[in-house]
Amino acid sequence: MYQPLADKIRPKTLDDVVGQQHLLGKNGLLRRVIESGSIPNLIFYGPSGVGKTTVASIIAKQTDRKLYHLNATTAGIADIKAIIDELDTFLTPNGALVYLDEIQYFNKKQQQSLLEFIETGKITLIASTTENPYFYIYNAILSRCTVFEFKPVEASDMQRAVDRAFMLALDGRDIPVESGVASHIAQAVGGDVRKALGAVELLVSGAGENGITLADARQAAQRSNMRYDRDGDSHYDILSALQKSIRGSDPDAAVHYLARLLEAGDMISAARRMLVIASEDIGLAYPQCAAIVKACVDSAFQLGLPEARIPLAQAAIVMATAPKSNSACMAIDAALADIRAGKSGDIPAHIKDAHYGGAAKLGRGLTYQYPHSYPNHWVEQDYLPAELSGAKYYEFGPNKTEQTAKTYWDRVKGRK
């Protein structure tokens, strides 16, 4: 019977696992927990193909427990209960370890139903998820489990797995492998060991007269290093990285993360986020930036990809190299905080609408002073409700543009 290469070379010990040294290295906490033999309920969080299932299998073997592998996309509580029925029998003399893959697909009721089983200690639960557990797993489960994050495998570690896979897949056959094939696969699969082994198996089975070429490797692993899901963590992580790179004035990082979004075909998210950045992070330090970014975004949507990459890159670089100010964002957030706290008060009568019959009888606009009738188009009068008199929301930023405005108004308002 056919057995995938990934299963044939699945690691049997912690030392055989590639990557995850932060968890499984000599001083890794997860390794120490496993070696102690006292296994708590665990949640393994991380992308596909990085060793979550493999480590669960090793835990079961090292603790001499029977491993039950369930997938939350097809399993239900009835499957858990069926496992409980086998407990205290000759089938599970040392207890059961239940590996529940993709736990995020269990709804709230199903997740809560797990509690009665894990709290009694009848089973040890290891749940895995590719989604952020703090978003998708309910607190009742989280509070009873320890979360360990698995990360994409670095190319240097991946190379070991690829070399071993070629050795096993070739099985002594004289099939030449062009230089650079293994390193290309290790780099191109985006930290996914299963994907790397699949590429090796494909290349060996489809080897031509010239053996396994670099061109074949590029085709087998094309675009596979892209980890992107518009509804998942990677989507928000890339957008966050794009904004923080622009905010941090790093144009190289900014175009890198923009490229990742565009390569995934998500121009809309990139454009929308850059429109926000123009006002949130550049703001009043360079007010014209908002208009420039809007023009670049409009051009991008008129052009479409691939040409759209150029105006969007222009917008990203303009913002990354522009002076920064978040004073407008801070001002509106401070004002909103007061509103939400119930601090509003009545609008002063002199600035209420007075363009209707009877307004004067209500005292509307009687003492309003028209600023354009005064020197420098300014006159001192109250605009905030009496309850908020003296409230300060906007503070001039330290950049040249805002300081120039501050100097002007300090002079006009007689503050200097």
Which amino acid, 246? I
Structure confidence at residue 381 (pLDDT) = 94
Per cent of the chain over pLDDT 90 is 45
Structure confidence at residue 117 (pLDDT) = 78
Mean of pLDDT values over 341-365: 88
How confident is residue 226, by pLDDT bands cut at 50, 70 and 90? low
* Residues 255-303 pLDDT 10s: 999 999 998 888 999 999 999 999 999 999 999 999 999 999 999 999 9
Q: Which of 397, 246, 399 is nearest to 330 (CA)?
A: 397
What distance in Å separates the CA atoms of residue 44 and residue 136, rounded to the nearest whole number?
A: 13
| CA distance between the termini of the chain | 88
* Residues 360-394 pLDDT 10s: 888 888 899 999 999 999 999 999 999 999 999 99
Structure confidence at residue 204 (pLDDT) = 87
pTM for the complete prediction?
A: 0.67
What distance in Å separates the CA atoms of residue 240 and residue 234, rounded to the nearest whole number?
A: 10
- Show the domains of the chain with their CATH numbers: 20-149 (3.40.50.300), 155-220 (1.10.8), 233-321 (1.20.272.10), 328-412 (1.10.3710.10)
What distance in Å separates the CA atoms of residue 255 and residue 313, rounded to the nearest whole number?
A: 6
Structure confidence at residue 178 (pLDDT) = 85
Which one is predicted more confidently, 348 or 219?
A: 348
* Residues 321-342 pLDDT 10s: 999 999 999 999 999 999 999 9
How confident is residue 229, by pLDDT bands cut at 50, 70 and 90? low
Structure confidence at residue 1 (pLDDT) = 59
Cβ-Cβ contacts under 8 Å for 236 (sequence gap 6 or more): none
What distance in Å separates the CA atoms of residue 109 and residue 113, rounded to the nearest whole number?
A: 6
* Residues 130-165 pLDDT 10s: 888 888 888 888 888 999 999 988 888 899 889 888
Is 114's pLDDT higher than 90? Answer: no
Mean of pLDDT values over 71-85: 82
Structure confidence at residue 65 (pLDDT) = 83
Structure confidence at residue 109 (pLDDT) = 84
CB atoms within 10 A of CB 250: 15
E strand or H helix that includes residue 161: helix 155-170
**What integer best gives the mean pLDDT of the chain?**
88
Task: Give the residue carrying structure tokens 């290295």.
Answer: 25
How confident is residue 224, by pLDDT bands cut at 50, 70 and 90? low
160 phi and psi angles, rounded to 5 deg: -60, -45
Is 90's pLDDT higher than 60? Answer: no
Show the tokens assigned to 38: 């006292």
Is 246's pLDDT higher than 90? Answer: yes
Which amino acid, 135? F
Q: Which of 195, 205, 206 is nearest to 153 (CA)?
A: 195
Which amino acid, 59? I
Which amino acid, 108? K
Structure confidence at residue 230 (pLDDT) = 57
The answer to which of 77-91, 186-200, 260-274, 313-327 has the lowest mean pLDDT is 77-91
Is 45's pLDDT higher than 70? Answer: yes
Structure confidence at residue 324 (pLDDT) = 97
Is 180's pLDDT higher than 80? Answer: yes
Is 228's pLDDT higher than 60? Answer: no
